[in-house]
Structure 1
C-alpha cells in the first residue's frame, strides 16, 4: 500500500465568528494558517494560527489534536522551536510585549511561561549549532523583516535589531500584491478600510530560518495571504544575521493554480529519514479573507544549495517515503485525477441557485455545490463516464450559510481595530456516507461518517486495494453548526485504462512584459488534455517552479511571478487521467 496524503491537510480547522464593531456577524468560517512543523522525540508537531492547540503525528499522515488552553489562542503565527532541549512557543501580539512559553513534553504536559521581553509579529526563533539564539519577525507593508540575537535563558534582546529582508516588488514580480500579482479595487467597506490602512504595497512577513550545509536560509512570505500567488521566498547568508543575498531562484515555494492555491508563510523541517518538507498556508478566502488551510510539500536543496519545493499538481496525492528520497524532475503523482474532464457529469438531490452540482467537480475549492434549503436528504454524485480503477478519494466540504454564533457582542474578544472574534475550539463534524459503484445500482461504502464523531472537512481516503467504479456518491449529508450541506470537491484518483496520455506541447511563444516581471505564453491547445503545468526555472535543467492550469482548452497564460534581470526557461506539460507529458522548453 502506498503511503499518501492529499492537500489540503485533513485537520479539524476551527470555526470562528469575526465581526466589525457595531455590526452583526452573518456566518462562520474556518481558519488555520502560518504553520510551524518541527520533529520532536518521534513526533511531528504542527502549530497553526487560531487553532487552540496543535496537531501531532508519527507519520505525517494521521494527526491527533492536543488542546493548549494555557497558550494565547488569538495570537497569530505561532512559532515553535527546540531551544536547549525544550519546545519553545511564541506568537504575535501587536502593541504588547509577547511571552515565550516552554514545555519539555508538549504532547503530555502543558506549556509554561518563561519570559516576556519584547513586541513582535510573525516571529521565528532559531538556535544555532553554537547555542546562540536569534529571533526574526515582521509583518507589514512598510517595514522589512527584522532579526536580533536573544540572550540564552532570558530571551532578552542583545544589541540592536537588523533589517534582514526588504520589500522589493519592483524587481521581484512574485511580491506584487493582488490576485495573479495584480491589485483589484476594494469591493466592500471592510476592504476599503483595510486598503486605507495597509496601502497597495505587499506584506513582507512570515520569517523562518533553516540552516543547511553551513548556510543560513532565511525564508519570508509575500504578497498577501488572501492571494493565489501567496508564496515563500528565501535569502541566503553565511551568518544568522546576514548579510543575506537573494537566492537566484525565487519564490522557492509557490502554488498559484490547481484545486487550492497558495503556499506562503510556512516552515521547513526534516523527517526521520532526512527528507525535507515545507508546510505553508493555502487559501480559500471566499467567506472571509482569512479563510485558510494548511498544505505540505516536498522540499529540496540541490547540489548548488538552491532551495526549492516540488509543487507540481500539489493537490494530488503526495507520497510519504519510507526512506531517503531524491528529486526526480520527471516524477508524477502516485495517481492522476479521474473526476474531471469531458466525460464527467454531476447530479444532486437539489441545488441552490449558482451552486450547481458540477461545481463539486470543477477543481476549484472556491466554488461549490450546495443543497437547496428545503432538501431533507441531500446527496451529490459524480459519473466518471466509464469504469475506472480508483485508488483514493478526497471529499472537500464547503462552509455554506453556516449561521453566526449567538454569543452577545460584549462577550467577543477584541482582536484589533477592525473586528472582534470568537473561536469555536471544539470539533464540529459533518455527517455523510461516501460510496462507489460500477453500475449505479450496487454500492460499496468507502467512508462512513454518519455517526458524526470525526471532524474531517477535507477527508482523504486511500483505499486498501483499488476498486472498479464509475459512480461516486456523497449522501446522508448534514453540515455542522446548522449550515447548508455543500461540497467544493469530490476528487477521485487512480488510473484510467484505455486513455492515452496527451500529446506534448511542442511550441511555446513567450514574451516578457511589465518590465520583465511577467511573460505572456501562447501555445497550441492539446486535444484530450485536462490541463497544463507551466514549468519554469533558470535553465532547462532546473525547472523548479510550476503553475497548474486546470482548463485543458487553454492555449495562453501570463506568468506573473518572475524576477527582473533573470532569463528563464519555460515548458508547458500537458496532463490528463493517464499521466503527464513533458513539453518542449522555450526561453523568456
Structure 2
C-alpha cells in the first residue's frame, strides 16, 4: 500500500483578508467552514472567503480554481451532488440565497437557480429516494431548521422544522468560552447583552449511514479552542432527532492548533470516512481560521467518531481501506521547547515562541529586512522525517494588500478579499550547524515538507525573504517531526477530583494526551495538554465517563490505562 503524508492545518494558499469596520482594521488570512464532496472521481473543497474551490484526485495534491460567477464573498459555501450535478449555495442575510448548478465545475459554467429566502450555514442533502432537503441556521437565538425542497426547482415544500437548539446546561462542550469554562465567558458588553451564555448552533451537515440520519452541527463559537461538531440521530431526514451522547464527535481543544468544528463528512474512493473542519487562530480577528482533515469512522454500534490524537502531527493518507486509528501517531515532535537562536527578535515576540507549540504566539524579527532567520537545535541522535513551517503576518502598521471588488457588510463594514499573498522563506537543514542543505523554498503559511529519505539533522533554519506587504518575518511554529533516540516516558498515575484529572509530572514527558469517552474501549475524545492536570468541562450530563492519560515525547507514546469517573451532573 502506498501511503502519503499530510499535516494540519492543511498546506493550502490561504487568502489574505482586509476587513475595515467602522472603528477598526483587521488584516489576516482565512479559510473556514469546509464542504468536501467527491464528484466524478475528484474531491472538491469549498471554504469561506476563498474566492473559488480546491480540487484533488487523491486528497493530497490540491489545485485551486477561481469561481467569480459564484458568491465568493458569502460565508459557509455548501456543495452537494444532486441528480448527478453539483449544486452550490452559501450564506446571505437580507436577500434570497441563490443556488448554482453545473455538471462540470472545472469548466466554470454555472446555471443560476433563483432562491426564495435568505439563509445562513446551508447544507443540502439528497436521500436515497431522490428527495432533497435543506438544513440551515447559525444563531445563538434560533435553532437549526430543515425543510424539503423540490429536487428540480429547489423551491421549498412545506414549512421549515426546528431541529437542533443549544443546551449548554446538559452538553458541557456547548459552553461558549475558552476550555468550556463558563467563568471565562467574555464576549464584550454588546455580545453579552445580545447572547449571554448561549452558544452559537450552526454548520449543519447531514450523513446517512445504515439507514439512520446523522445530523451534524457545530458549537459553541468559532473563536474558541473547543469549537466542535456534535450529532443528533433520526430515523427520517426531518426527525425527530435524538442527541448522541458521544458528542462532540469532532473536537480538538488542545495542541498546536485547536478547533475542529463546522465541517463536512465524506468517504474517499476506498470507503474510508473523513471529516474536514475549521481550526482557529483568532488572534488578529475571530475569523482568522484554517482547515483541518481528520480520519473518521463508525463503530460497531453505529457511533460516528474522529481520530484526533496527534491530529496536528503528520497523518497518513492511505491508498486503500484503512483503520482510522492507524493513521496518526507515527512521527513525534522533535522541536518542542528546543534551543532556538534568531537573527533578531521584537521584544514582545522572542525567538522561543517559534517552538512553544501554540499557533497563537510567534517569534517576530525586529526588522522588515529580507534575511532574518530563526534556527532550532534538535535532540542529538534524532532523525527528521517531516517539517512544518508556520508563518504569520503581524505588525500594526503593515499595509493592506491590493483588493479585488469589495462587498459591504454589517455595521457599515467593508470587506476586501485579494488574491493570495505569498510569504517567501528558505528552509535549510544541517548536521553540524556549518554546512547547510536546502530543504524547501517556500511561500505558503503552513508549508509541509517530507524528507525522502529521512535525515539525521541537528539544526533546522528558516530564513525569510522580503514580504510583499512589508511585514517583519514571523514564525508561529517551526515544527520538526521524526523519531528521537531515547525512550518514551513512563506512564502517568492520574487521580480524579470531581471533573479535575491530575497526575504527578512525568520526567522526560513533552506532553500528555487525555483520552475520554463513555466506555473503556470508546475513548473517542482526546485533549492534548503540556501540564499534568485537566478540568473536563466538555462532558455531557448524566453519563459515566472513562479516562486514560497517555504520556509522550520525541521517542514515542506510553498508553495509559482507562479508569472510570463519577457520573456527570
Distance 1:578 1:377 in 2: 33
Map of 2:135 onto structure 1: 136
> C-alpha displacement at 1:412, in angstroms?
4.7
| Structure 2 contact 342–375 (Cα < 8 Å) conserved | yes
Map of 2:18 onto structure 1: 17
> C-alpha displacement at 1:117, in angstroms?
1.8
Distance 1:65 1:180 in 2: 35
Distance 1:209 1:508 in 2: 38
Map of 2:121 onto structure 1: 122
Distance 2:464 2:28 in 1: 22
Which of 550, 553, 558 is equivalent to 2:535? 558
> C-alpha displacement at 1:194, in angstroms?
3.7
> C-alpha displacement at 1:221, in angstroms?
0.2
The CA RMSD over aligned residues, in Å, is: 1.8
Distance 1:105 1:548 in 2: 42
| Structure 2 contact 48–76 (Cα < 8 Å) conserved | yes
User: Aligned runs of 1:289-304 on 2, under 5 Å?
Assistant: 289-304=286-301
Which SS does the other structure have where 1:116 is aligned? coil
Map of 2:7 onto structure 1: 6
User: Aligned runs of 1:397-436 on 2, under 5 Å?
Assistant: 397-401=391-395, 403-405=398-400, 412-417=406-411, 419-424=413-418, 426-436=419-429
Tell me the alpha carbon deviations over residues 453-473 of structure 1, each in whole angstroms, 9 at most, x when there is no partner.
xx4110001112101101000
Map of 1:391 onto structure 2: 385
The alpha-carbon distance between structure 1 residues 182 and 110, as it changes in their structure 2 partners (threshold 3 A), is farther
> C-alpha displacement at 1:417, in angstroms?
2.5
| Structure 1 contact 332–579 (Cα < 8 Å) conserved | no
Equivalent residue pairs, number:
562
Which SS does the other structure have where 2:250 is aligned? coil
| Structure 1 contact 68–110 (Cα < 8 Å) conserved | no
Distance 2:176 2:392 in 1: 26
Question: TM-score, normalising length from structure 1?
Answer: 0.93
Map of 2:494 onto structure 1: 508
Q: Which runs of 5+ in 2 are unaligned?
A: none
Map of 1:103 onto structure 2: 102
Which of 505, 524, 538 is equivalent to 2:518? 538
| Structure 1 contact 379–477 (Cα < 8 Å) conserved | no
Which SS does the other structure have where 2:410 is aligned? coil
Distance 2:520 2:186 in 1: 40
Map of 1:379 onto structure 2: 373
| Structure 2 contact 316–327 (Cα < 8 Å) conserved | no
The alpha-carbon distance between structure 1 residues 224 and 193, as it changes in their structure 2 partners (threshold 3 A), is same
Q: Which runs of 5+ in 1 are unaligned?
A: 450-454, 513-518
Map of 1:568 onto structure 2: 545
Which of 269, 275, 279 is equivalent to 1:278? 275
Distance 1:471 1:546 in 2: 31
> C-alpha displacement at 1:383, in angstroms?
0.6
| Structure 1 contact 332–580 (Cα < 8 Å) conserved | no
> C-alpha displacement at 1:331, in angstroms?
7.0
The alpha-carbon distance between structure 1 residues 448 and 374, as it changes in their structure 2 partners (threshold 3 A), is closer
Which SS does the other structure have where 1:573 is aligned? strand
Distance 2:406 2:192 in 1: 25
User: Aligned runs of 1:430-509 on 2, under 5 Å?
Assistant: 430-449=423-442, 455-497=443-485, 499-505=486-492, 507-509=493-495
Which of 228, 234, 238 is equivalent to 2:235? 238
The alpha-carbon distance between structure 1 residues 435 and 407, as it changes in their structure 2 partners (threshold 3 A), is closer
Which of 527, 547, 550 is equivalent to 2:507? 527
Map of 1:170 onto structure 2: 169
The alpha-carbon distance between structure 1 residues 122 and 478, as it changes in their structure 2 partners (threshold 3 A), is same
| Structure 1 contact 510–586 (Cα < 8 Å) conserved | no
Which of 336, 342, 352 is equivalent to 1:340? 336
Q: Does 1:209 align with 2:206?
A: yes
> C-alpha displacement at 1:385, in angstroms?
3.6
Distance 2:91 2:283 in 1: 25
Distance 2:189 2:212 in 1: 42
Tell me the alpha carbon deviations over residues 78-122 of structure 1, each in whole angstroms, 9 at most, x when there is no partner.
000001111100000012110000111112233221231222100
Question: TM-score, normalising length from structure 2?
Answer: 0.96
Tell me the alpha carbon deviations over residues 126-159 of structure 1, each in whole angstroms, 9 at most, x when there is no partner.
0001000000001000111100100111111111
| Structure 2 contact 310–329 (Cα < 8 Å) conserved | yes
> C-alpha displacement at 1:420, in angstroms?
2.3
The alpha-carbon distance between structure 1 residues 192 and 112, as it changes in their structure 2 partners (threshold 3 A), is farther
Distance 2:6 2:375 in 1: 23
| Structure 1 contact 297–311 (Cα < 8 Å) conserved | yes
Q: Does 1:226 align with 2:212?
A: no
Distance 1:406 1:547 in 2: 37
> C-alpha displacement at 1:442, in angstroms?
1.0
The alpha-carbon distance between structure 1 residues 464 and 177, as it changes in their structure 2 partners (threshold 3 A), is same
Map of 2:30 onto structure 1: 31
Which SS does the other structure have where 2:330 is aligned? coil
| Structure 2 contact 406–415 (Cα < 8 Å) conserved | yes
The alpha-carbon distance between structure 1 residues 580 and 156, as it changes in their structure 2 partners (threshold 3 A), is same
> C-alpha displacement at 1:5, in angstroms?
0.2
Which SS does the other structure have where 1:119 is aligned? coil
Distance 1:207 1:216 in 2: 12
> C-alpha displacement at 1:247, in angstroms?
1.0
| Structure 2 contact 122–137 (Cα < 8 Å) conserved | yes
